[in-house]
Amino acid sequence: MILGTRFGEYGGCFVPETLIPALEELEEAYRTIVPDPSFQKELSGYLTEFAGRETPLTLCRNISQDLGCRVYLKREDLLHSGAHKLNNALGQALLAKYMGKKRLIAETGAGQHGVATAIAGAVTGLPVDVYMGDVDIERQAPNVARMKLFGARVIPASSGTRTLKDAVNEALRDWTGNVRDTHYLIGSVVGPHPFPSLVRDFQRVIGTETRVQVLEREGRLPDAIVACVGGGSNAIGMFHPFLDDDVALYGVEAGGEGEGGRTGATLCKGSPGTLHGAYSYLLQDNYGQVAESHSVSAGLDYPGVGPEHSMLRDSSRVTYSSVTDREALDACLYLSRREGILPALESSHAVAYARNLAMSLDRDQVMVISLSGRGDKDLATVMEYAGVQV
């Protein structure tokens, strides 16, 4: 068993000794159960019949006209639950069942991963406990209601700042005490090995489908692919099947308030350090204390990032940049108006970057944007920005 598998110098397994057996067991399952044809067949059944895969690849005729290149959207907004997070939640819930686990736990900040886990628990028949900071429970009432409707228990984390970081601590404490029958379902390509690899492999379906769909439509691979990066799961899922190809890859972080202001741009503004069990880029102060992040989109508001992205940043295989809250909000309004598609504010960061990138592309060049989720959850924020009464 090889624990501490790395992406270059990043990744690893920086956890208390009491968690090592759980991670070893999970790695074993990752190596033996996940590739097994019967597991893959059952997962594929869930993804197809239940979640609605494959998701469409949509050619946007209006914005292609505007921007002067061929713009496609990969429509994870049309996946059941309205975002890509369900690909991973279903994969890990099913894996937990195959491992003989009887219970799922998760932690959530904005509530989107909590909802995906609650859905996956309901459909696979596993009870779900979701840890969530007191403050977040108050801020994210609709998602708390959804989790409860799907049968999950929402457990308030009331220590520290009573937000995501405290919920992570509570979840880790729970897992340490209940490793035998409990699986900790992590929501992005972060955390200790094997989570970054496991979650990536469950999200790779985004890129695998895109590859086939673009080849069918264009007879060749795209020139550029753009995806937003929070923890980095929709981006790595989209990028991974194209890493060895001549395709330019762009990861877009949350620039928050812009130059000098609060930010969520971990790869652009951070430096390497250890957070949540892995060595990766993170936002930290001069003393190595994790800094608070900010983004108008809750899903990108995280001070860390997946270790594989850190490696891809250093090797320059992927170009990472950031766009501000304001640019993302403008892009959200733009896509809604021009194409009749309301993107999540997370995904709107990718759309905003794509608008600028298009200037360097010719009319017959092809760009794919990962539309990671739909924006209904962001309606109030968007309407307030647009100055419209809701």
Ligand X SMILES: *Cc1c(COP(=O)(O)O)cnc(C)c1O
Query: In the stretch 209-248, what mask flags binding to ligand X with x, by CB under 6 A?
Result: -------------------xxxxxxxx-------------
Tell me the number of residues near ligand X by CB under 6 A.
19
Give the count of alpha carbons within 13 A of 46, CB side only.
22
Give min distance, CB of 309 to ligand X, in A. Answer: 9
Residue number with the smallest Cβ distance to ligand X: 373
When asked if residue 197 is in the footprint of ligand X (CB under 6 A), the reply is no
Based on CB atoms, which residue is closest to ligand X, 144 or 361?
144
- Candidate list 117, 124, 163, 188; residue touching ligand X; CB under 6 A: 188
User: Which 307-336 residues touch ligand X, going by CB under 6 A?
Assistant: none
When asked if residue 91 is in the footprint of ligand X (CB under 6 A), the reply is no
Of 152, 204, 185, the C-alpha closest to 44 is 204
When asked if residue 266 is in the footprint of ligand X (CB under 6 A), the reply is no
CA–CA dist 183, 95 (Å, integer): 9
Based on CB atoms, which residue is closest to ligand X, 132 or 300?
300
Based on CB atoms, which residue is closest to ligand X, 69 or 79?
79
When asked if residue 112 is in the footprint of ligand X (CB under 6 A), the reply is yes
Dihedral of the alpha carbons of 89, 95, 99, 100, in degrees to the nearest 10: 60
Q: Say which of 84, 113, 193, 349 is annotated catalytic.
A: 84
Dihedral of the alpha carbons of 71, 72, 75, 76, in degrees to the nearest 10: -80
Give min distance, CB of 354 to ligand X, in A. Answer: 15
DSSP for residue 277? T
Q: Say which of 13, 60, 69, 268 is annotated catalytic.
A: 60
Give min distance, CB of 260 to ligand X, in A. Answer: 25
Is 84 in the active site? yes
Give min distance, CB of 373 to ligand X, in A. Answer: 2
Based on CB atoms, which residue is closest to ligand X, 198 or 344?
344
Of 204, 317, 202, the C-alpha closest to 251 is 317
Is 309 in the active site? no
Of 179, 177, 174, 171, the C-alpha closest to 25 is 179
CA–CA dist 148, 206 (Å, integer): 28
Largest CA distance in the chain: 58
Pick the piece of the chain touching ligand X (CB under 6 A) from 146-154, 266-274, 343-351, 353-361. Answer: 343-351
Residues 6+ apart with CB under 8 A from 380: 390
- Candidate list 207, 251, 299, 304; residue touching ligand X; CB under 6 A: 299
For 117-168, the DSSP string reads: HHHHHHHHT--EEEEEEHHHHHHTHHHHHHHHHTT-EEEEE-STTSSHHHHH
When asked if residue 83 is in the footprint of ligand X (CB under 6 A), the reply is yes
Give the count of alpha carbons within 13 A of 358, CB side only.
21
Q: For 365, list phi and psi in degrees, rounded to 5.
A: -85, 155
Give min distance, CB of 37 to ligand X, in A. Answer: 28
Active site members: 60, 84
Residues found near ligand X in the complex (CB under 6 A): 83, 85, 112, 188, 228-235, 299-300, 344, 346-347, 372-373
